[in-house]
Structures are given as structure tokens and as C-alpha cells.
């Protein structure tokens, strides 16, 4: 029971760090365009993150039952996975790089599970077909469909959609006065920033919800929660039936949503500086286009249960918007550093999770 409590606490630490690490994803553009002050932007992001985190649980179900075989998952596995993700998040935050908290968590979970399973690769659910009991529709689950494919397609979609939307806005506003454009889109960006914050909460808070649900399912299966008093019986979550996924209890949703909102309120100015100032110079119309594009990508993939990176979506949208005027507007040296962080996140956190779990098994 003590170990299970430790798992939940470490998961909430990850959620808090996720909040301030990914704050820039929600508010970098609205701060850099000077539509809102940093304090106002953080308040907007915290509130909209909270609302988004409370609505929906498709991604949480994917994390809790669709990436690794829960038969090979212990509380130690989950702690090692989370610590691997936390370590990478803190390093990239310190360096000011907008890396993916989503992929940090997934990488840590896969590495730690593989170590727990003594290098049995079947513990990683690469590609699985599940039949929906109600509709009879075959659904594709697993790392390949829920992580790898979206990892490559969502940045491309973000870039292209941002480029197209900004090009259309340039065509529509060709004869408009700059002062009028800034005034109108300064107001519209309030809505797009709120939309982005909502989508961020919808996409990112659910990962930790899934991890805590997975920990409680593991505790229930192992019998660790068998002697709970009646007042704590809500902690026990029965393993899902074949082809199904556990429901995420309301108290996990509320807790994760509040912790992420608190982390968001702490801010993440290093990453905001990189995304909002160093990568490309933004005006309110650019911020509106980038936020609307990224939030739509996150909303759609979140509804499909895909673990898409908020960072990838907004960063590539900003790149696409910046390139709509001219490709030279993009500062390629900054983009190169960001891309390296993206490429390294999954393998590094996988190795961290694996190494930490091997140490646990050794000692």
C-alpha cells in the first residue's frame, strides 16, 4: 500500500512538472504577441487546462491499457517510468527546449515494462486489434497506431495546416491596415489561446490519469488493495475484460486536472522564450493561426485516444505560420535544436526507464 501511494505521488509530481514544462505550448504565442501579459496568460491557460482535463478520457484509457501488457507492470515499473520522464522533462526545461512530455512518459513506461518483463518484447503492445462490443468496429491499438504514426503525422499536419491557414489569412487581409489587423486578431487570439489551453488539458492531463489508473489496476490484481477499509474501497479498480479498458474514476480526473492547472500556473519562461521569440517573430494574426491549428489537431487526436504531443503540434504550427510569408523567417538553428530534442525523447526516456528498473531488480 505504501508503494502504491508513492506511485500516485510520483505520478502527480510528473503531472505538475508537465504543467509548467508545457505551459509554453498553451501561452507562448499569446505572450510573445503581447496580447496578454505573462500573468494573465498563465491564468487563462490554468483555467482552460482544468476544463480540458476534466472532459474526456480516451487518451487515459490508451495509456492505462493500450501500450503495454499490464501483466508485466508493477508499482516499481510505474515509478521508474515516471522518474525517467521527469528527469528528461527537467533537463529539456532547463535547456529551454520544448520536448514532448507525452513521449517522455510513453518512452519511460515502455523501457521500464521491458525491464520488468526480463526483455520479453511481448510486454510491449506494438500493434493490437480490438473489436468494439457495441458497434463491432475493429479498432487498432498499440504503440504503432497510438504513438508512432501520430508522432510523424501530427507535426506534418500541424506544419501544413498552419502554412495553409496563414496563407489564406494573408490573401484575405492583403488590403487591410496593419493596425486594424492587430486590433481584430488581438481579440480573436484570446479565443484561440483559450482553445489551445483547453486542447492541452484534454491531451496532456489524461496521460497521468491513465498511469494512476494502471497503478490501481495493478494493485487490485496483486491483492495489495484487498484489505482496504470500506471508506477507501474506491481505490480498487478491477482489471478490464479482454478487449476492453478500465474506466477512469472521477476522483483521478479531478486530481490530475487540478495538479496540472497548478503546474501551469508556475509557468515555464525558458521554453516560452524559445517558442515565442527565438523561433520566428509573431504578430497576433500569426498567433491566432498557430493556436487554432494546433488546438484542432490535439482535439481531434485526443478524441481518437492518440497520445499526440502538444509540443509537436504547436511548434510545427508556429513553423508553418512563419513560413507562410517566407521560409527565411524561420530560424533554422533553433529548429534544429528542437528537432534533436524530439528525436531523442522516446529512446532516451526508454533507456532511462529500462535502466532504473534494472537497478531496482538488481538491488
C-alpha cell at 145: 497506431
The pLDDT of residue 116: 94
Tally of residues, the chain: 363
At 227, phi and psi to the nearest 5?
Answer: -100, 20
The average confidence (pLDDT) of the chain is 81
Share of the chain above pLDDT 90, in %: 18
pLDDT average, residue stretch 212-228? 76
Quickly tell me which residue has 514532448 as its cell: 100
pLDDT above 60: residue 274: no
Q: Which residues of 222-247 are buried (b: 16+ CB within 10 A; e: fewer)?
A: eebbeeeeeeeeebebeebeeeebbe
The whole-angstrom separation of Cα 361 and Cα 363 is 6
pLDDT tens sequence across 177-190: 988 988 899 889 88
- Residue predicted with more confidence, 296 or 230: 296
For the entire predicted model, the pTM comes to: 0.79
Q: Which of helix, strand or coil describes residue 306?
A: coil
The pLDDT of residue 231: 66
C-alpha cell at 214: 494502471
The whole-angstrom separation of Cα 342 and Cα 335 is 11
Domain count, the chain: 1
pLDDT above 90: residue 350: yes
pLDDT average, residue stretch 12-33? 76
The pLDDT of residue 25: 63
C-alpha cell at 284: 497576433
Task: Please state, in angstroms and as integers, the Cα–Cα distance from residue 250 to each residue in 56, 57, 63, 95, 213, following that order.
Answer: 11, 10, 17, 36, 11
| Cβ proximity of 357 and 115 under 8 Å | yes
pLDDT above 90: residue 48: no
pLDDT above 80: residue 235: no
pLDDT tens sequence across 110-166: 999 999 999 999 999 888 877 766 667 777 778 888 888 888 888 889 899 999 999
The whole-angstrom separation of Cα 3 and Cα 128 is 31
Q: Which of helix, strand or coil describes residue 130?
A: strand
Given pLDDT bands bounded at 50, 70 and 90, which one contains residue 232? low
CA-wise closest residue to 9 among 253, 256, 223, 246: 256
Given pLDDT bands bounded at 50, 70 and 90, which one contains residue 167? very high
The pLDDT of residue 98: 67
- Residue predicted with more confidence, 49 or 242: 49
At 141, phi and psi to the nearest 5?
Answer: -115, 180
The pLDDT of residue 269: 58
The pLDDT of residue 347: 93
| Cβ proximity of 25 and 279 under 8 Å | no
Q: Which of helix, strand or coil describes residue 34?
A: coil
The whole-angstrom separation of Cα 279 and Cα 257 is 30
Range of the domain at 174: 2-127+134-362
The whole-angstrom separation of Cα 108 and Cα 76 is 12
pLDDT above 90: residue 351: yes
Task: Please state, in angstroms and as integers, the Cα–Cα distance from residue 203 to each residue in 25, 47, 141, following that order.
Answer: 12, 15, 17
pLDDT above 70: residue 64: no
Q: Which of helix, strand or coil describes residue 139?
A: strand
The pLDDT of residue 65: 66
CA-wise closest residue to 298 among 287, 308, 286, 311: 308
The per-residue DSSP string of 247-296 comes to ---HHHHHHHHHHHHHHHHH--HHHHHIIIIIS----HHHHHHHHHHHHH
The whole-angstrom separation of Cα 291 and Cα 315 is 10
The pLDDT of residue 358: 95
The whole-angstrom separation of Cα 36 and Cα 297 is 24
pLDDT tens sequence across 68-121: 888 888 889 989 999 998 999 888 878 777 677 788 888 999 999 999 999 999
pLDDT average, residue stretch 51-63? 73
Q: Which of helix, strand or coil describes residue 304?
A: coil
The whole-angstrom separation of Cα 362 and Cα 330 is 48
Amino acid at each position: 500500500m505504501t508503494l502504491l501511494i508513492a506511485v500516485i505521488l510520483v505520478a502527480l509530481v510528473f503531472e505538475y512538472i508537465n504543467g509548467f514544462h508545457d505551459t509554453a505550448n498553451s501561452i507562448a504565442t499569446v505572450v510573445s504577441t503581447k496580447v496578454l501579459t505573462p500573468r494573465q496568460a498563465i491564468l487563462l491557460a490554468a483555467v482552460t487546462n482544468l476544463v480540458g482535463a476534466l472532459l474526456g478520457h480516451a487518451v487515459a484509457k490508451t495509456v492505462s491499457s493500450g501500450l503495454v501488457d499490464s501483466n508485466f507492470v508493477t508499482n516499481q515499473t510505474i515509478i521508474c517510468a515516471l522518474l525517467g520522464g521527469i528527469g528528461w522533462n527537467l533537463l529539456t526545461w532547463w535547456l529551454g527546449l520544448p520536448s514532448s512530455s507525452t513521449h517522455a512518459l510513453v518512452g519511460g513506461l515502455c523501457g521500464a515494462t521491458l525491464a520488468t518483463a526480463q526483455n520479453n518484447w511481448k510486454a510491449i503492445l506494438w500493434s493490437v486489434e480490438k473489436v468494439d462490443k457495441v458497434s463491432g468496429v475493429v479498432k487498432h491499438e498499440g504503440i504503432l497506431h497510438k504513438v508512432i504514426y501520430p508522432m510523424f503525422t501530427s507535426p506534418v499536419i500541424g506544419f501544413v495546416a498552419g502554412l495553409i491557414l496563414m496563407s489564406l489569412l494573408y490573401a484575405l487581409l492583403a488590403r487591410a491596415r496593419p493596425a486594424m489587423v492587430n486590433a481584430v486578431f488581438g481579440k480573436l487570439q484570446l479565443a484561440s489561446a483559450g482553445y489551445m489551453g483547453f486542447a492541452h488539458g484534454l491531451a496532456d492531463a489524461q496521460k497521468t490519469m491513465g498511469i494512476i489508473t494502471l497503478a490501481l489496476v495493478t494493485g487490485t490484481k496483486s491483492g495489495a488493495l484487498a484489505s482496504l477499509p470500506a471508506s477507501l474501497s474506491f481505490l480498487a479498480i478491477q482489471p478490464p475484460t479482454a478487449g476492453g479498458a478500465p474506466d477512469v474514476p472521477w476522483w483521478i480526473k479531478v486530481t490530475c486536472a487540478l495538479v496540472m492547472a497548478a503546474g501551469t500556473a508556475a509557468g515555464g519562461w525558458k521554453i516560452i522564450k524559445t517558442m515565442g521569440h527565438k523561433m520566428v517573430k509573431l504578430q497576433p494574426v500569426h498567433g491566432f493561426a498557430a493556436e487554432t491549428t494546433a488546438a484542432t489537431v490535439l482535439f481531434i487526436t485526443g478524441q481518437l485516444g492518440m497520445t499526440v504531443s502538444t509540443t509537436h503540434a504547436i511548434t510545427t504550427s508556429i513553423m508553418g505560420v512563419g513560413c507562410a510569408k517566407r521560409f527565411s523567417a524561420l530560424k533554422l538553428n533553433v529548429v534544429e535544436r528542437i528537432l534533436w530534442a524530439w528525436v531523442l525523447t522516446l529512446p532516451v526516456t526508454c533507456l532511462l526507464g529500462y535502466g532504473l528498473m534494472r537497478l531496482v531488480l538488481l538491488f
